[in-house]
Amino acid sequence: MTGALAIQYLVAGLTYGTIYAVVGMGFNIIYNTTGIINFAQGEFVMLGGMIAVSLHAILPLPLAIAGAVLATMVVGALIELVFIHWLSRPTVLRMIIVTIGISILIREVALLIWGHNVRVLPYFTGNEISAIDLLGARISPQVLWVVAVCAAMVALTTAFFQWTMLGRQMRACASNQVGAAVCGLPIRRLVTLSFVLSAGMGALAGCVVCPITYTQYGMGTGLAIKGFTVAILGGLGNSLGAVAAGLLLGIIESFTVSQLPTAFKDTVSIAILLGVLLLRPSGLFGARVATRA
Amino acid sequence: MLRIRNLDAGYGSLTVLRRVSIHVKPGEIVAIVGANGAGKSTLLKTIVGLVRPRAGEVLFEGTDVSRTPTEAIVRAGCSLVPEGRQVFADMTVWENLLLGAHVQRGKGGRAGLQADLDRICGLFPVLAERRRQLAGTLSGGEQQMLAMGRALMAHPRLLMLDEPSMGLAPLIVRDIFDIVVRISAAGSTVLLVEQNARSALKVAHRGYVLETGTITMQGTSEELLANRDVQRAYLGKDANEESERGAP
């Protein structure tokens, strides 16, 4: 493999890796405030892309994207209010089944609305054939959009959780439910907010990748598996771990494609998921997860 | 300040409290003593709305709060320092205190918040020293102080403490009870629940004895400390344990 080709694969890997990282962070945000693994996480990405494509028919691109993100946030809030809110002390198994059910529901509704056709947004800058030269490899400007937007999202959410009072309250819920309750924190509203935030992140990621990866009603399942792998690999609840694990998984996948038939791509991430669950269930960087009692 | 009438509470099919009636007057320190499993923690959790009563009334300053959400009860001025401290282990001491001030937001502004932090640090100087440390790395006594400081940030008129001495060395227990007296002197009413009956009754004005979910005795601390049944059941615990250990 030549140097330029290696860079080409590396960049492709980073592109997918940032998406996985954002989906992984979405898992973490909800897990952190509620202890729930939301398997409908991938559907947020799909909805973001789909709604943006539909809105783009009548609105300019930035407005269409903003609208798609807001609409998906509303969906996130509705999911929490309709399906999660009234369950008191749900078991883990019950929550997994509920969120898988939600994910199937969203997928089927999407199939009804948009059909099984692949949808696509235009490139944000340039077009399909414009490219930037990087050490001999040719990089689409949309890749830079994906990486920049996802990096900004990761930085902003990290800052939000670290420095704002609302972010601290959400971390407090995750850290100790009884403690949060006796501080008088509005736990129910914080849980709803975690779904809204996580839906918004997924939707924005869905919009920026849409021009490259296209959007189809069923894309959420695959992303949920990848995002879950990344969340576990990075240590559940550890957002920066998820970012590192996301990039790692993207790059591994990308180089797998260069060496093995493309069909093996998903096999690799599932093999990694199984391997991590068997050998190191707290993840590569999962020391912090032990604090969740 | 607090009046509980004929309270029944429990979890699922298990009834823990049966027809419990107690009251706490403004300015008092009231202790509820009793053995492990008597329902002491359940009582405090029911008052603050973490457990819902099956029957009976919980009147806080004349208002029935038995159906009120915890958030509103804390806002109304009734704070609980829960059993086992329940600090936010992976957050700093400072963040723990800030979160305690949640129900005060918008009341005193930035200056009010700073004044509250200064007040808490005056009461617990060790918290100021360790403000940047993660709460989970504190010792048990320091965590207890942090949990109390966090609750005090909400300006409670009634402060409830659940087993504040649990798992602490005797010297630290003495410090904690000294602080309880200072908190009371500063104007808060205190309701505390303890297995360590002697220490609790020494600082309290009045006490109740809770046995398997029912109040079996009540009186001033002096009366309870002098009562033969209380002495046998709760104050002479060590002697009993030793005679048991001596038996084959």
Complex ipTM: 0.87
- Catalogue the E-assigned strands of B39-184: 53-60, 63-64, 78-81, 158-162
Pick from B88, B113, B153 the residue to mutate for testing the A interface (most A CBs within 10 Å): B88
Average pLDDT over residues B145-152: 95
Alpha-carbon separation of residue B211 from B24, B57, B91, B195 (angstroms): 19, 20, 37, 12
CA distance A195 to chain B (A): 21
Q: Which residues contact B47 (CB under 8 A, 6 or more apart)?
A: B2, B4, B58, B60, B65, B73, B78, B80, B160, B191
Distance between CA atoms of B16 and B11, rounded to whole angstroms? 7
Average pLDDT over residues A120-146: 83
pLDDT of residue B158: 96
Structure tokens given for A223: 């992303």
CB A176 within 8 A of CB B86: yes
**Coil, strand or helix: which one is A129?**
coil
Residue A266: closest CA among A16, A25, A10: A16
Alpha-carbon separation of residue A113 from A83, B58, B145, B214 (angstroms): 22, 52, 57, 61
| Chain A residues whose beta carbon lies within 8 Å of the beta carbon of residue B103 | 183-184
Q: Which long-range contacts (CB under 8 A, 24 or more apart) does B235-244 make?
A: B235/B197, B235/B198
| Chain B residues whose beta carbon lies within 8 Å of the beta carbon of residue A175 | 88-91
Question: Predicted confidence band at B65 (pLDDT cuts at 50, 70, 90)?
Answer: very high
Q: How many residues does chain A have?
A: 293
Nearest Cα residue in chain B from A186? B71
- Chains A and B form CB pairs within 8 A to the count of 73
Pick from A183, A236, A240 the residue to mutate for testing the B interface (most B CBs within 10 Å): A183
Minimum mean pLDDT range among B101-115, B190-204, B209-223: B101-115
Nearest Cα residue in chain A from B100? A183
Question: Predicted confidence band at B37 (pLDDT cuts at 50, 70, 90)?
Answer: confident
Alpha-carbon separation of residue B146 from A114, B89, B194 (angstroms): 54, 11, 19
- Helix or strand holding residue B207 (H, E): strand B206-211
In the predicted structure, residue B106 carries a pLDDT above the cut 60: yes
Listed in sequence order, the DSSP H helices in chain A are 3-34, 41-56, 61-79, 92-114, 141-163, 165-175, 177-182, 187-213, 219-233, 239-259, 265-279
pLDDT of residue B76: 93
Place of tokens 């973001």: A48
pLDDT of residue A88: 65
CB B75 within 8 A of CB B84: no
CB B97 within 8 A of CB B127: yes
**Coil, strand or helix: which one is B228?**
helix
Q: Which residues contact B167 (CB under 8 A, 6 or more apart)?
A: B140
Distance between CA atoms of B102 and A141, rounded to whole angstroms? 45
Residue B79: closest CA among A179, A187, A182: A182
pLDDT of residue A280: 79
| Chain B residues whose beta carbon lies within 8 Å of the beta carbon of residue A182 | 48, 50, 70, 74, 79-82, 86, 151
In the predicted structure, residue A177 carries a pLDDT above the cut 80: yes
CB B23 within 8 A of CB B17: no
Residue A143: closest CA among A155, A132, A154, A157: A132
Nearest Cα residue in chain B from A182? B80
Q: Which of A203-207, A281-285, B232-236 is modeled with the greatest confidence? A: A203-207
Ramachandran bin of A283, using left for φ above 0, alpha for ψ from -120 to 50, beta for the remaining angles: left
**CB–CB of B48 and A165 under 8 A?**
no
Q: What is the DSSP letter of B140?
A: H
**Does A178 contact chain B (CB < 8 Å)?**
yes
| Chain A residues whose beta carbon lies within 8 Å of the beta carbon of residue B88 | 171-172, 175-176, 179-180
**Does A169 contact chain B (CB < 8 Å)?**
yes
In the predicted structure, residue A293 carries a pLDDT above the cut 50: no
| Domains present along chain B, CATH in parentheses | 2-87+156-246 (3.40.50.300)
**What is the pTM (predicted TM-score) of this model?**
0.85
Ramachandran bin of A215, using left for φ above 0, alpha for ψ from -120 to 50, beta for the remaining angles: beta
In the predicted structure, residue A134 carries a pLDDT above the cut 90: no
Q: In what order do the strands lie in the sheet with B2-11?
A: B14-24, B2-11, B53-60, B63-64
Question: Predicted confidence band at B248 (pLDDT cuts at 50, 70, 90)?
Answer: very low
Nearest to A168 among B79, B95, B136 (CB): B95
**Does A58 contact chain B (CB < 8 Å)?**
no
pLDDT of residue A79: 93
pLDDT of residue A289: 41
Could you report the per-residue pLDDT of A57-98, keeping only the tens digit for each?
999 999 999 999 999 999 999 999 998 887 766 677 888 889
Minimum mean pLDDT range among A5-19, A93-107, A178-192, A258-272: A258-272
In the predicted structure, residue B111 carries a pLDDT above the cut 90: no
Distance between CA atoms of B44 and B54, rounded to whole angstroms? 15
**Coil, strand or helix: which one is B47?**
helix
Residue A229: closest CA among A12, A32, A42: A42
Could you report the per-residue pLDDT of A251-282, keeping only the tens digit for each?
999 988 888 887 787 888 888 888 888 887 77
Distance between CA atoms of B216 and B207, rounded to whole angstroms? 11
In the predicted structure, residue B239 carries a pLDDT above the cut 70: no
Q: Is the model more confident about B18 or about A135?
A: B18
Q: Where are the domains of chain A?
A: 3-291
Choose which CATH entry (1.10.10, 1.10.3470, 1.10.357, 1.20.1540) describes domain A3-291.
Answer: 1.10.3470
Residue B24: closest CA among B44, B8, B3: B3
Average pLDDT over residues A138-150: 89
Share of chain A above pLDDT 70, in %: 96
> C-alpha dihedral over A59, A61, A67, A68, to 10 degrees?
120
Nearest Cα residue in chain A from B69? A184
Average pLDDT over residues A238-256: 89
Share of chain B above pLDDT 90, in %: 73
Question: What's phi and psi for B214, nearest 5 deg?
Answer: -130, 145
In the predicted structure, residue B89 carries a pLDDT above the cut 80: yes
Average pLDDT over residues A238-243: 85
**CB–CB of A179 and B79 under 8 A?**
no
Nearest to B99 among A168, A178, A187 (CB): A168
**Does B76 contact chain A (CB < 8 Å)?**
no
